[in-house]
Structure 1
């Protein structure tokens, strides 16, 4: 996905091909031997020394450091270095307090208590007025409006408290507050006063450590900023050594000139199920659970560079979901015969497939977008697993995304492979009323359990158990984010909350 043309999570749910079709990440270019030697030695290729030290360089969109004024992903990434946040999410999906001392959600009210003693880079204290103004600016922005759709108001109460009003309860709303905090008077400024680990350097196109940073950490003394205009330029600049590191959301392999690392995200690979299909494996909860039981999520995850089994509706790393999920990462072949028998299927020893009394094989069809090699690969892995379990699978490839989407919306499928970028509060409403709802058999009982969990995350276990019993869709994997660095750079730690979560272990080879 080109980093200059999308708004991250601009809608709460996006089907797989809507996000990824025809967006294979191009391989990073391999510089010529002379160019590579020049970059490593600090010469211009003619033998003249440029005295260029090893440095950490990142891509920026020139002229604007305020993420509330544009939808450029690079601006958001740099904001993680320049502006402090109320909270951030760790690589293990743990909520970490930053400027916020606490975030308490009660019904439709969220109360934020701020830590005291923190200032902007110019020494001006960070106050509740700044936080309230920043949140309202975020809600009004193109980049963050989607995630804050549930926020109706933000009011400062004194200097250290901000009270948010929500349209509906959300006990995990704190996970959405990893937002840059700007001065109230500068939320419309293209270059607001920094509040984070780095500030604008004296030398043009540089960042330097902020001596007043609320949470200083070890890192480079200078970060070089390289303006780029499009994704192709980003890729080539990394290959030429002008950029050290960037985010790439696709899983296509890069050339040997680079290395890749991964971090956890809330991107879910799933099977949409048409509950109205004339197939008991799809139309009944027993059939959907059977399909889930017959596949190994762990084996699927092992086939991807960065993926973990989805053993529930929620991301299992979240505190409320830990130890509460009942879907197995492995298949359960011992449970299959009885489950198939309950649906009227017996195993035909000659063919190795289950069949009904009329001699028809137990079978399902999977719809996949033909322009997405990644989804086709996943479909073939499922086909292989279910065939080994005695269930026949046929694949239907829509030639492009529009055809794929039309078939889903008109329910011309039994199963389809989709991918969803969920907000960090794990808002599942896309499955109930949004872009992934087509064909799903969702009961009021499950909706009630979900709404209760949204209001009180301690009830997540009850919701997960009911979800596993009804399985309106089949979670497969949580996909990871991919970062790319040149061969000289290592040690950047990223999270779903901050591409530059930590630079303390950064190493730049000479």
Structure 2
């Protein structure tokens, strides 16, 4: 889904030391609000922000900080790491056979000592399926789930998916524990089997003595009530929290110091292309536009070094696709010139734009959501870069609602889009005609062109692939992209084959992948992160 995104403008001025339960260069006086007090701490304690009026139930929490804290209380079957690879958590094994996935559970118990069973997984799946958020989206392929023994769960799928394990990140809680209430009728935090569990004392998590994995040095986590962005900024400024995370979806300027860890977000910023356009239906022009863009400059100047240039449709963090994704981080104007020449644009006019033999130049309208500061800056940079390459771009700025209306009506040449790529790397809703966000896509009759200047790929038998096979259609007229995804799901093509076909067909123009940033107290060591869990290595934290 294309997100409404107001990008955060970062100011990395050093104005404070992050403190909390861990040691800090700056000593902090006791910090209190009307309900809780954060005391000076021991080296076995850290401090996090949360909202006491919100739940720590991962399926009902509404605030980002509470959803992040909940990841310390609950465990999924599988997590993905910062390189987008699956890591088994409650799953002892994950076996994929066609349209079935069988998960065998580890010998784990909940914090109340009751065993984690397949029935608990089924119960949690049903909560996740009805959640309506991220976890629901990740389970789109599942048609049914059943417990076939106490420790074995069977997932039936609507289609084969070699990377389905990456989608098994929904939190597992004890069956029925989400319905437990206190004497006032307020729902209690459900029972989990994660690294920490709520203590009897308010605003405190304690290490879960029953956790199935490593039990680290951090024995307690103190929670500070921060109900809104102003209070979050306040606690950061006075050094009251040991961690602060931002995915840059807000519009506050955050000033903080400490250690910085980049989180690879599987979020692609791209140029959507209207291939119904007489000129943009030609892949030569899409290649020309792509090679004229300085992606590195976009990352630096529009996204404030919180992004990585896209080398293709899949994140550069994905090792399996890295070798075949060949888009360059900086512009290569010779490739642009060569591709324009193939379309008959061989000369420049007095304004510096390429023209055909009749003196006609290419003029492209770029649509951008003006509510996103980063995208607005990026659009202006792209227009300048393409002007230098001899292609005129006119920017249309509009509010988000109008932006959605126009792209839905295919009323654009190019648009600046953003999509969260699913953990199983399924981009079919974007890159195949008829997909829910495949705006402007008309790939029924692909042409025979190949990106000029890109390296020739080798097939498995060592022969050079000149692009003819990926540019053909079958008897049904299916596009090469649909064909390769069908082969990928059937197991006859790899993710690198998909990546290579997408580069060749280029239904959109990939620009960059966004980063999140986890700021932390510099005295905390052994921090690893992932988009799935920013506290990925919490059980291994150490304080200097």
TM-score range, shorter chain: 0.7 to 0.9
Q: Distance in 1 between matches of 2:322 and 2:31?
A: 54
TM-score, with normalisation over the residues of structure 2? Answer: 0.80
Q: Which residue does the alignment assign to 2:331?
A: 331
Q: Which secondary structure does the structure 2 equivalent of 1:184 belong to?
A: coil
Structure 2 residue 77 is matched with structure 1 residue 107 = no
Q: Distance in 2 between matches of 1:270 and 1:287?
A: 16
Change (3 A) 1:430 1:219: farther
Structure 2 residue 484 is matched with structure 1 residue 449 = yes
Q: Superposition RMSD on alpha carbons, in Å?
A: 3.3
Q: Which residue does the alignment assign to 1:40?
A: 27
Q: Which residue does the alignment assign to 1:374?
A: 374
Change (3 A) 1:463 1:246: same
Q: Which residue does the alignment assign to 2:139?
A: 148
Q: Distance in 1 between matches of 2:522 and 2:94?
A: 41
Asked if the contact 1:320–1:458 (Cα under 8 Å) also holds between the matched residues in 2, the reply is no
Q: Which runs of 5+ in 2 are unaligned?
A: 181-187, 445-477
Q: CA deviation at 1:469?
A: 2.0
CA deviation vs aligned residue, 1:314-354 (integer Å, no higher than 9, x gap): 22433542423243434333333331111010132854432
Structure 2 residue 49 is matched with structure 1 residue 66 = no
Structure 2 residue 295 is matched with structure 1 residue 292 = no
CA deviation vs aligned residue, 1:369-399 (integer Å, no higher than 9, x gap): 222210011112222322232222222212x
Q: CA deviation at 1:474?
A: 0.7
Structure 2 residue 41 is matched with structure 1 residue 53 = yes
Asked if the contact 1:268–1:477 (Cα under 8 Å) also holds between the matched residues in 2, the reply is yes
1:78 aligned to which of 59, 66, 69? 69
Q: Distance in 2 between matches of 1:199 and 1:184?
A: 17
CA deviation vs aligned residue, 1:90-126 (integer Å, no higher than 9, x gap): 11222111121222333321111222x3222232222
Q: Which secondary structure does the structure 2 equivalent of 1:52 belong to?
A: coil
Q: Distance in 2 between matches of 1:336 and 1:31?
A: 45
2:509 aligned to which of 474, 485, 489? 474
Q: CA deviation at 1:66?
A: 1.7
Q: Distance in 2 between matches of 1:51 and 1:472?
A: 56
1:500 aligned to which of 531, 535, 541? 535
Q: CA deviation at 1:141?
A: 1.7
Q: Distance in 1 between matches of 2:492 and 2:515?
A: 24
Q: CA deviation at 1:295?
A: 2.3
Structure 2 residue 415 is matched with structure 1 residue 416 = yes
Q: What is the number of equivalent residue pairs in this alignment?
A: 485
Asked if the contact 2:263–2:530 (Cα under 8 Å) also holds between the matched residues in 1, the reply is yes
Change (3 A) 1:312 1:24: closer
Change (3 A) 1:257 1:467: closer
Structure 2 residue 437 is matched with structure 1 residue 436 = yes
Asked if the contact 1:68–1:187 (Cα under 8 Å) also holds between the matched residues in 2, the reply is no
Q: CA deviation at 1:44?
A: 7.3
With 495-504 and 239-248 compared, the bigger mean Cα shift is at: 239-248
TM-score, with normalisation over the residues of structure 1? Answer: 0.85
With 197-206 and 426-435 compared, the bigger mean Cα shift is at: 426-435
Change (3 A) 1:454 1:329: farther
Matches within 5 A, 1:231-310: 231-250=229-248, 254-259=253-258, 260-278=260-278, 280=279, 282-303=280-301, 304-310=304-310
Structure 2 residue 343 is matched with structure 1 residue 343 = yes
Q: Which residue does the alignment assign to 2:165?
A: 174
Asked if the contact 2:214–2:539 (Cα under 8 Å) also holds between the matched residues in 1, the reply is no
Asked if the contact 2:11–2:255 (Cα under 8 Å) also holds between the matched residues in 1, the reply is no
With 191-200 and 326-335 compared, the bigger mean Cα shift is at: 326-335
Q: Which secondary structure does the structure 2 equivalent of 1:224 belong to?
A: strand
